[in-house]
């Protein structure tokens, strides 16, 4: 049903955009909104929790990076538990070189994925509980893999609209 609604919305939006002056802000904004709506909808389905009830953060570190998700309401045990069910699975998948979940969510191969799949054992992916959710920590000593992790996380920051820094965090910052 969701796919049908999305197809109907896109079917109405595309002709309107084509009829509008090329590059008009209303067409661009609507197209961007439709893309983001798709990321949110697919994300909710793949991750198993509601993006409006949770917050993602992506942190680039000197040795890799962090993917953290927490429930917005500290008493929302349903979201917290869903996060804690999803992220250990993601850590295991990534450790095995399987990046299907982000490809399904974003409807394309995120930057860095082809490089991270080449030598998955050169990155250590671990899961940790945090008070309202969980986090996946990626660590590598391989410079090419580090660059791939950072490219992947920068893409996540942009596509999930988190507002996180795209610069490498320094200890204590």
CATH code given to domain 53-159: 3.30.70
Would you tell me how many other CB atoms lie within 10 Å of the CB of residue 76?
Answer: 19
Name the pairing type of β-strands 64-71 and 123-130: unpaired
pTM exceeds cut of 0.75: no
Name the pairing type of β-strands 133-140 and 54-61: unpaired
User: Domain residues of the chain, as ranges?
Assistant: 2-47, 53-159
3-state secondary structure 19-45: HCCCCCHHHHHHHHHHHHHHHHHHHHH
Per-residue model confidence as pLDDT tens for the chain (173 residues): 443 333 333 333 333 333 333 333 333 333 445 656 655 565 555 566 667 788 989 999 999 999 999 999 999 999 999 999 999 999 999 999 998 876 666 578 889 999 999 999 999 999 999 999 999 999 999 999 999 999 999 998 988 788 999 999 987 65
């Amino acid at each position: 049903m969701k796919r049908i609604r999305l197809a109907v919305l896109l079917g109405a939006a595309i002709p309107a955009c084509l009829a509008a002056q090329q590059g008009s802000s209303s067409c661009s904004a609507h197209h961007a909104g439709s893309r983001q709506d798709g990321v949110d909808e697919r994300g909710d389905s793949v991750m198993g929790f509601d993006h409006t009830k949770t917050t993602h953060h992506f942190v680039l570190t000197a040795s890799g990076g962090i993917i953290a998700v927490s429930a917005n309401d500290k008493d929302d045990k349903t979201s917290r538990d869903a996060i804690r069910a999803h992220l250990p699975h993601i850590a295991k998948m990534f450790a095995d070189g399987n990046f299907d979940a982000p490809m399904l969510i974003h409807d394309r191969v995120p930057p860095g994925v082809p490089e991270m799949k080449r030598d998955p054992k050169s990155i250590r992916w671990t899961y940790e509980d945090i008070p309202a959710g969980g986090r996946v920590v990626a660590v590598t000593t391989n410079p090419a893999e580090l660059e791939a992790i950072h490219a992947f996380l920068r893409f996540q920051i942009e596509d999930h609209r988190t507002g996180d820094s795209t610069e490498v965090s320094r200890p204590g910052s």
